Amino acid sequence: MSLSERCDQLLQRHLHGELSGDEADELRTLLQTSPEALDHYLDLCDLDAQLMSQFDRPPGIAHHPTATLHSAGSPAIWLTSFAVAASLLFAIGPELVQSPNDPPGLTIAAVDDSEVNQTPEAATLRRRVPNPWKVINATGSMNHPRLSEASIPTVQLVANRKLQFNRDIRPILSETCFHCHGPDSHGRRADLRLDTRDGATTDLGGYQAITPGELEKSEAWNRIISDDPELLMPPPESHLALTDQQKTMLRRWIEEGAEYQGHWAFIPPTMPPVPQVDFSDDAAEGNWSRGSIDSFVAARLAEADLTPSPEADPRTLIRRLSLDLIGLPPTIQETQAFVEDYASRGEAAYQQTITRLLESPHFGERMALPWLDQARYADTNGYSIDGGRDMWLWRDWVIQAHNDNMPYDRFLVEQLAGDLLPDATDAQRIATGFNRNHMITHEGGTIPEENLTNYTADRVKTTGEVFMGLTVGCAQCHDHKYDPISQKEYYQFFAFFNELQDRGLDGNSGRNSAPSITAKTVLRTDEINELETELVQLRKQLAEATGGFDAWLEAQRSEQADRGKGFRVLDVELLDVSAPNVPGTIAFEPTGRVTLSNPRGGLNGLSHSMRLSADALNPGELVSGIRIEFTPAEIPIAPKAEETKLALTPFEEAVPKVTTVLVSATNQPADQVDFHRQLTFSQATATSAASGHPPTAIFQENNAHWWQPANGQSDQNLTLTFDRPVDPRETPYLSVLVVFGQSQSLPFQWQIEPFVGRDRNSRWDSDLIAAMVTPEADWDPAARERLLTAFRNNAASLQPLRIRIANLEERYAVLTQEHSVMVMNTAATPRETFVLERGQYDAPGDRVTPQTPAVLPALFSERPDAAEVSETADDTQTPTVRATRLDLANWLVDPKHPLTSRVAVNRIWNLFFVTGLVATSADFGSQGEFPSHPELLDYLARHFVQIGWDQKQLIREIVSSATYRQQSTASSEQIQLDPKNRLLARGPRFRLPAELIRDQALAVSGLLVPRIGGPSLQPYQPPALWKEVSHFGSTPATKQVFVQDHGEKLYRRSMYTIVKRTSPHPAMAAFDAPSREMCTVDRGATNTPVQALVTLNDPQFAEAARVLAAVWLRDETITADDARIRHAFEHVLCRVPSDRETEAVSALLAAERDRFADAIDDAQAAVSIGESPRAEGIDVAEHAAWMQVAALLLNLSETLTRN
């Protein structure tokens, strides 16, 4: 038995829990003494870097020759699943031989030319390629979560460094003490304040909470270490406790003099000197640092005895840059060109690539995406009705502003107060939609005044978090518990936004809430001429289309001949009719008849739950659809003498107006099923239709369209045929929702009847039917033209052409017509603002006027009328000059403001390093994190202002830095000293945002339609999801019924996917896209099996895999499997596969070929997913097999990750 075979045997016994003590010793000895056994073991399971550090044996990897730093030492590998290795280590023990290596040198070039020092032994900066079999088996798992939780490593708190209050002590006090002993004067206990030195050292009757330098005389310390639960602080009932480390720091701080500092974020930043620290390596050309950013990072690394990682290879760099700057992966051609150019021209090639990406129109899309989260952009209003709104003009403005490189100060001012600028343009008014993105309601029973208060509070919260990084909203009901913001100051800030001329109940019926304007999009594009040209060509092509006409006509003649064939309605048992909001009386019979009486001017959705009997079906019969039969209702007429008579309702006055019908089939009653699979219809017909109200109107989501019969003198029906017949033997329960979208004033009756056979109605009018059955020789010109028109408007073969024309016509209208958008304005008489007791809208206290918090610079410090304003703005008098939102915006962008520039650069940094220099991007207050690199933060903030708030310039400097270019693999030392990479000794590695995951699949497959801007779209999603949250009330609302888009709308970027607040797109939600109900500064990151189900089974991803496989198979220059697999890896991952990966994928491909060769129907079903046309001339089984390879690569953790 060979060594590897024996190792395999021992590992298998270990995994099954059968390893004896002697065998464990044998396996331990093998791994300790045999490099071959250890290599074999590492090929069988991926080790976590911390576990791998126990072995301390570096595998090899080629390093790019242009790297500026090389180092060697302990290994680092992919951070993947290590359950097998962990259990094995537990069994055999960690005692293995280590192998030391030489460290790189650290050069500290101080101002006084101090000597060169050496760092302690450094980490090896290499990685082991993961086992391809493990990759294959682990598809869908998210082994590399985004490192969003960040705290400063304890390595900063070295014993020989004096503690700093802001960095070391304030976070402890804020977390455990400030809630009861902080800025909130009303909630403060024992009259003790610990957030200021005066409060902490005040005389409390012969003692002080803190006596600087004297531990024993500090009552706070005595309480902290007390064994008496009555004296212990924090008290046990608070469920807060100090750790031993925190106690040690508090003790040291008091002994060192208990120095306080003003909170760092409220002190204006100053330009710090750039540290003269760098790293060098004899094997590299030049030092590590490429600029000031790197110098600050190098100083922190040197302080922590860490060294930076080598530069990532060119393929990783181009993918990183492309995903970061435009949100799309590079094409295989762009990757190959960069690799070659970078090898020959180095930095010039790198800078040229940055320029190309910054100038791409997709740059604005990538930068806009997080801004939409922060501004809570959505396409619906939220709350229970959640009707539609149109705010996409504002989204277009954000995209164009980034593409134009609008200076950030102007970007801020126009969004907060563009309407108040002199001679404000439409574009500047559109910009103010930032503060109209909040939710609004038209829900009955809510109080308009309370709603207005909530709307304004949302603007305050969002403005505070987005532009200042402060949780201002915490002071709405009381003084802020942690930051020096009083409740009065909150409402003074509130007053800036309490001037809008809006309504407390609004936003229904699909229209925008006032104030709004109509304007053209600000997007600048060259599309219009191209659209006009293509539309002329396509319309001509459709108008002249005759190919397939004869076959279509024959099919219609056959359909007419078979009309009603086998038709019969089935008996049902009507179990329930649910109509909780119907203003009338509903009665129903078990046979299915429903009667509406006394409708009182309104009607909404009614849900019918019914049971079908399979006994009524003949063998082989299935339910073809449903017919809704409407009849006049019998109602009492005025009595004469003692006699009451009945009369039929004049049906023309009680005509049904049906906007929507939703049907689902289940194997249990509807109220016992959590998820309803919504059925789709192949056609809708009716006995008659009024002009402009055809039966097909029910397929539209806009409730402005409905079907109604042409007359009311007889029974009328609406007949809907299912796309796929229903088998009551499997799903005997039907749930049918019928929505009457217009008010009804008179009663009527209806009955829902499932049927088998062919629909009796025809979708064609009588003249067209007559022409169809007439021999062609007898047609007159008018009859022929009618038939050709019907063919061109309805033939399935021309559907793609009709969809294409409709898409282009809508796009043309988007770019050339005016559209509605909600904006800010100022009422002629602004509402008065009061301090609201406990934040309640109906409990006003003192009146206040607009003003900013006192802890920050004065609002009018440089205005000539400042004194006049400050003297009169005292809660009781109206100031001569009332501050406006424009004053607030200009105050925020004042270079002396301590927060605005810091918050802005921190958010930009966060885009590229997954965590900001301040980890809590929305909270720079006492509850926020202390900066990991405070000097770098201040440097960037001041530099940002000095370069004119130029975002593209700042981004260029960040992505040009050596810090950004580092490898993202972690050494054991880095994991141990800085597990969350807060010191930046390696490049960041994080999962892509939800939108970029889908965009990447569309891009690499070639399906992506790269148009910029425009209204939101509705790509594939389960159609019944909206039904669960939809509102079908007497007042109609849009966006209640999901109607999937078609054509190019299915393949636009994900940032244009509709955001329905009460039912976000499921694929986006699975990958943690927010619902946008409120401001989201940082997205969370979860890892769940649902994510793998999305990337493997969602139609969008399956279609992308199908199209991607076809791209590979159509490439006649690559025919061998190994070459095609290599090409596939380069296409998706921008790298070549290892030999073992190629072998693994080859094995998968062979297995899938065998499977689909024996199951052609399955293969055909697989390659039929999605609406894009399937490539012709490719063997179905071969296509399906390669589709599985494509799905695998699109689902790899590496694919879903930005390295």
Helix, strand, coil % over all residues of the chain, rounded to 5: 40, 10, 45
* Average pLDDT for 717-742: 88
Both tokens assigned to 202: 């005040």
* 375 CB-near residues (< 8 Å, 6+ apart): 398, 415, 434, 437, 462, 466, 1079
pLDDT tens track for 603-631? 567 889 999 888 888 888 999 999 999 88
* 584 CB-near residues (< 8 Å, 6+ apart): 596, 597, 598, 599, 600, 602, 603, 744, 747
Report pLDDT for 744. 58
Find the length of the chain: 1203
Q: How far apart are CA 1145 and CA 1154, in angstroms?
A: 14
Q: Are the C-beta atoms of residues 662 and 736 closer than 8 Å to each other?
A: yes
Q: Whole-number mean pLDDT of the chain?
A: 84
Q: 435-449, 642-656, 660-674 — which is least confidently predicted?
A: 642-656
DSSP codes joined into one string, 585-625: EEEE-TTSEEEEE--TT---EEEEEEEE-GGGSPTT--EEE
Q: How far apart are CA 142 and CA 997, in angstroms?
A: 13
Q: How far apart are CA 482 and CA 34, in angstroms?
A: 59
Q: How far apart are CA 586 and CA 595, in angstroms?
A: 6
Both tokens assigned to 819: 């559209």
Q: How far apart are CA 1035 and CA 506, in angstroms?
A: 12
Report pLDDT for 89. 38
- The DSSP call for residue 187 is T
Q: 433-442, 443-452, 788-797, 1020-1029 — which is least confidently predicted?
A: 1020-1029
* Cis amide prior to 515 (ω within 30 degrees): yes
Give buried/exposed letters for 427-447 (b at 16+ CB in 10 A, else e): bbbbbbbbbbbbbbbbbeeee
pLDDT tens track for 863-880? 444 444 443 444 444 445
Residue reference for tokens 């590492």: 42
pTM for the whole thing? Answer: 0.81
pLDDT tens track for 1077-1090? 999 999 988 999 99
If pLDDT is split at 50, 70 and 90, which confidence band does 108 have?
very low
Q: Are the C-beta atoms of residues 1072 and 1086 closer than 8 Å to each other?
A: yes
Q: How far apart are CA 537 and CA 543, in angstroms?
A: 10
If pLDDT is split at 50, 70 and 90, which confidence band does 199 have?
confident
Q: Are the C-beta atoms of residues 944 and 905 closer than 8 Å to each other?
A: yes
* Average pLDDT for 660-683: 82
> Among positive and negative, which fits the CA dihedral 834, 839, 845, 851?
negative
When the candidates are 1.10.10, 1.25.40, 2.60.120, 1.10.150, the CATH number that belongs to 567-761 is 2.60.120
**Element spanning 574, H or E:** strand 572-578
Q: How far apart are CA 553 and CA 550, in angstroms?
A: 5
Q: 371-380, 643-652, 837-846, 908-917 — which is least confidently predicted?
A: 643-652
Q: How far apart are CA 478 and CA 845, in angstroms?
A: 13
pLDDT tens track for 151-188? 344 444 345 577 888 888 888 998 888 889 988 888 88
Q: How far apart are CA 118 and CA 288, in angstroms?
A: 15
Report pLDDT for 634. 56
Using the predicted structure, report yes or no on whether residue 638 has a pLDDT greater than 70: no
Report pLDDT for 1130. 97
* Average pLDDT for 909-922: 96
Q: 619-628, 706-715, 792-801, 1165-1174 — which is least confidently predicted?
A: 706-715
Q: 174-188, 703-717, 1188-1202 — which is least confidently predicted?
A: 703-717
Helix (H, G, I), strand (E, B) or coil at 127: coil
- DSSP H helices in 623-753: none
What are the φ and ψ backbone dihedral angles of 587, each rounded to 5 degrees?
-130, 140
- The DSSP call for residue 716 is E
Report pLDDT for 712. 61
What are the φ and ψ backbone dihedral angles of 518, each rounded to 5 degrees?
-110, 135
* Average pLDDT for 936-961: 98
* 202 CB-near residues (< 8 Å, 6+ apart): 193, 208, 209
Q: How far apart are CA 314 and CA 66, in angstroms?
A: 9
Residue reference for tokens 């330009």: 271
Q: Are the C-beta atoms of residues 848 and 864 closer than 8 Å to each other?
A: no
Report pLDDT for 714. 72
Domain ranges (residues) in the chain: 3-112+123-137, 165-260, 521-563+776-817, 567-761, 994-1070+1087-1203
Using the predicted structure, report yes or no on whether residue 253 has a pLDDT greater than 60: yes
Q: What angle do CA 902, 906, 909 make, to 5 degrees?
A: 145
Q: How far apart are CA 93 and CA 21, in angstroms?
A: 12
State the amino acid at position 1116 in one-letter form: E
Q: How far apart are CA 344 and CA 348, in angstroms?
A: 9
* Average pLDDT for 586-607: 75
Both tokens assigned to 640: 């004469």
State the amino acid at position 875 in one-letter form: D
Q: How far apart are CA 748 and CA 656, in angstroms?
A: 8
Q: How far apart are CA 344 and CA 1135, in angstroms?
A: 19
What are the φ and ψ backbone dihedral angles of 597, each rounded to 5 degrees?
-120, 150
